[in-house]
Amino acid sequence: MNTLQHHKHHGHHSEEMHHTAEDLHHPSHTEKDSVFKIAMQATLHCLLGCGIGEIVGIILAASLGLGMWESMIVGILLGFVFGFTLGMIPLVKAGFSFIESFKTILVSEGLSILVMEGAEAITQVYIPGVMEAGLSESIFWYGMGISLFAGFIAALPVNLLLISRGIRHHH
């Protein structure tokens, strides 16, 4: 059962459209725009969770005096935690159990978060000076901004694919 069917099964309503066979093979311009808009929103949602988690993780790691690689690991782990948490909150509010919510987010958003975090980490490593910079240095924040943008660009096609296949949706 895909995520959208799962939501219908649990009493969540979504617009049902009736399509002809021709419609299914050739989506309208409006449907393509809608999928892109939903993918943009979903990717921004993912970016928010990952970004908050990474920044909190890096600040926490810096305050504990961790090295650059340990800081990156803490940031990535908290990126996943915040990303999953932001995804799960609406599901729990809608009546899903914690386990159901976690499984749904793992399937529907896990790949997007993984791709985003990977792109962000690679970008941070390859921008000279970012990994060695302190929180008070502009190169750190410049690098963080570029890496978040890179994560967004990397995750957007993943979300487009997942949404077009009915695996992922926007809450």
Confidence at 23, pLDDT banded by 50, 70, 90: very low
102-161, pLDDT tens digit by residue? Answer: 998 888 888 999 999 999 999 999 999 988 888 899 999 999 999 999 999 999 999 999
Confidence at 69, pLDDT banded by 50, 70, 90: confident
Residue 51 confidence (pLDDT) above 60 = yes
Residue indicated by tokens 């909190």: 56
37-49, pLDDT tens digit by residue? Answer: 988 988 998 899 9
Where b means 16+ CB within 10 Å and e means fewer, 58-92 reads beebbeeebebeebbebbbebbbbbbbbbbbeebe
